[in-house]
Amino acid sequence: MNTKIRAEHLARTAIVYIRQSTLLQVLEHRQSTERQYNLADLAKRLGWGVAQVQVIDEDLGLSGASVAQRTGFQKLAAEVSLGRVGAILSLEVSRLARSSADWHRLLDLCALSDTLIIDDDGVYDPNDFNDRLVLGMKGTMSDAERHLMRLRLQGGKLHKARKGELAFPPPTGYVFDDGILAYDPDEQVQKAVRLLFQRFRLDGSAYGVVRYFARHGLLYPSRHARKDAPAELVWRSLSHSRALATLRSPIYAGAYAYGRRQQRSVLADGTVRRRREVLVSRDKWHTLLRDAHPGYITWEDHMENLRRLDENQAKRLRLHQRGAPRNGEALLQGLALCGKCGRRMHPVYQGDGRYVVYECARRPDARTCWSVPNRHIDEKLVEVFLEAMAPPELDLSLAVLKEVEHQAADVDRQWKLRLDRARYEAERAERQYNAVEPENRNVARTLETRWNQKLDEMAQVEREHAEARRARKLELSSDDKKAILALARDLRTVWNAPTTTAAEKKKLIRLIIQDVVLSPVDVPERTTQVKILWKTGAVTEVFAARPSTCKTPENVLALIRELASKRHADVEIAEELNRRGLKSGRGRVFTKQAVTMLRSEYKISAGRPPGGHLPLPARDNLGRYSLRAMAARYGISEHVVRYWVETGVITPERDYQGGPFWFAVTPPVEARIAEALRRGYGSRRRKRPTSRPSTHRRQAAEPHPHSHRRVLN
């Protein structure tokens, strides 16, 4: 027996730790697994009893790079720290840990608990300096060996990727054929991918593509490839993230790209995690080989798609980007340029979108260059646009008809391919059911259920197709074609149709207009110079009326200052201004929000402090009472009045939105008040009667004192 093994070691448990890095090694390297299990016999020969030998093999198929997923190693460390282990037996150090940090942590635990470490070379005592030195060198070599193996494997992988030969899970629409990316042989998959790129070219935004697929009930494929298994094709609704990933991938432009993402370790919530980051710059990608395989689009189209996606980002719209047409009323969104400084002007919507101005971006000194209302400019632009589109009526009408037929055919083709797939699946399930022996009822019942399920799916697709044909006109009749030709010849009717959205009008404008330069002109009269730059390079110059400055009259500002100094609220100030017939600079009546904005602009202090409340007058000019005055005048409880309001006994009156409530005391109301006072529901300040009404009668007249506290403001 080895002299390092003492009686106190033999009195404790001997643990045999078994590990292999992958399940493939467990399957193919059986001799190594057998050698590790034989260490239990070695423990018995060294003096441990059969009942004292414990085998831990929970980590078979797990890497030794970390202890995070290795429950067996964690269990081993826990037993060692409790002093229950006399020796750890392992084939070699690398089986216990491939990380120097984990290995030295285990050595410290073994030294504290006086636990031996035994491998093929001998017995080691972590408390002995020489043994610990040897164990430390073995752990370092094991860690370095893992690093060298990773370098060799990663180097070969990157070398293969540099030549464009490294296979990876191909994106939807592609498959690897003899190591080269090729189109997916499934025609329905190809058509769906091509339709996505076609719609983005027309709609200009990923959300527009998603809405188009959802509006026509179209599905998008997703092919999940697994190692040593056939890829699984699943059809789902197109999501915005999926559309963005497809549009941004250079693989669809025929380029072999590898290394677009990188992983790095970060410390999050006290644990080390792997985080994937997308490398935006193409210079940081490991490999980019253009024209490496057939593409769905050209490289130029791919770069244009990236540019449009970048411009569509909402955070960049304020940075003078064009962006996709949106549903705002300003027709020059993304087209207007400032004639004074050359920056992009953007629309600003005010008053719930009813008032729109084109505003130049702010200068570095934080001042607005200039702004102008959109109404006159848009009207002048529409007039010039419709005149420019008038001459080629016949060519335009034929092109519109051709495009409509093409889009309808694309949608109908997608539906027919989906129907073909559903019918094939049903026929395949039928053939499988017919091929089974009738006596094998267990299999026959399963195949029959699958056949019925496929038949139901086919019927559902046929119903959805029929509904789409009725709702979306997937096939154009002769009457439809005549109507389209008639509308194409009368673009003004199409433009003014209520079904034509603002986004669609902007798309029409962008077909022939590149940019519009707006410049203020003050002499001889206030106008806006509108220079239209057509995509042909021609320039058209027109002038649009520019309203005078909307300055608030001085008498209005003086009255606001006077009323605010008398501690009137903004709503009361607005009411008084309207009562006197005064108007704002734009000729509009005053509202609470308008008064608030004017006070903020001209630095006028608020009439009431924030959260403050001034009591209303007891009666207004019509003789109506306020809530508090009515309660004090007739000695009735305010809670009873609120309860009457909620139950419809009394209807308060309000002169304007947000104004105070007033109560007209009519004879029926006076009778109701007298009845309440007779029953003892007067104000708390009055002397209560000696006899109190019953609980039932009291609850009928007045609810709980706090249940209707907020009926009236």
Task: Report the candidate in 528, 244, 499 with the shortest Cα–Cα distance to residue 370.
Answer: 528
Would you say 712 and 653 are in contact if contact means Cβ atoms under 8 Å apart?
no
Cα separation of 108 and 88, whole Å?
14
What is the helix (H) or strand (E) element at residue 555, kind and residue range? helix 554-565
Q: Residue 265, Cβ neighbours under 10 Å: how many?
A: 9
Q: Please, what is the end-to-end C-alpha distance for the chain in angstroms?
A: 94
Cα separation of 322 and 335, whole Å?
7
Partners of residue 264 on adjacent β-strands: 275
Cα separation of 345 and 336, whole Å?
5
Cα separation of 102 and 66, whole Å?
7
What is the helix (H) or strand (E) element at residue 471, kind and residue range? helix 441-472
Would you say 86 and 79 are in contact if contact means Cβ atoms under 8 Å apart?
no
Cα separation of 251 and 299, whole Å?
10
Alpha helices in 289-392 (DSSP H): 299-312, 314-317, 375-389
Residue 683 bears catalytic tag? no
- Residue reference for tokens 């009822």: 441
Cis bond before residue 524 (omega within 30° of 0): yes
Alpha helices in 264-370 (DSSP H): 299-312, 314-317
Q: Residue 483, Cβ neighbours under 10 Å: how many?
A: 12
Buried b / exposed e over 72-82, threshold 16 CB at 10 Å, is bbebbbebbbe
Q: Where are the beta strands (DSSP E) in 102-194?
A: 116-119, 122-124, 174-177, 180-183
Token output for 236: 């789902």
Cα separation of 7 and 17, whole Å?
22
Partners of residue 73 on adjacent β-strands: none
Q: Dump the DSSP string for 253-265.
A: GT-EEE-SEEEEE
Would you say 662 and 624 are in contact if contact means Cβ atoms under 8 Å apart?
yes
What is the helix (H) or strand (E) element at residue 102, kind and residue range? helix 100-113
- Residue reference for tokens 């308060």: 652
Task: Report the candidate in 638, 636, 614 with the shortest Cα–Cα distance to residue 627.
Answer: 638
Cα separation of 682 and 635, whole Å?
6
* Phi, psi at 662, each rounded to 5°: -125, 150
Q: Compute CA distances 406 → 80, 195, 475, 481, whole Å.
A: 74, 11, 10, 13
Task: Report the candidate in 550, 569, 547 with the shortest Cα–Cα distance to residue 560.
Answer: 569
Query: Which of the following is catalytic: 21, 94, 584, 626?
Result: 21
Cα separation of 471 and 217, whole Å?
11
Active site residues: 21
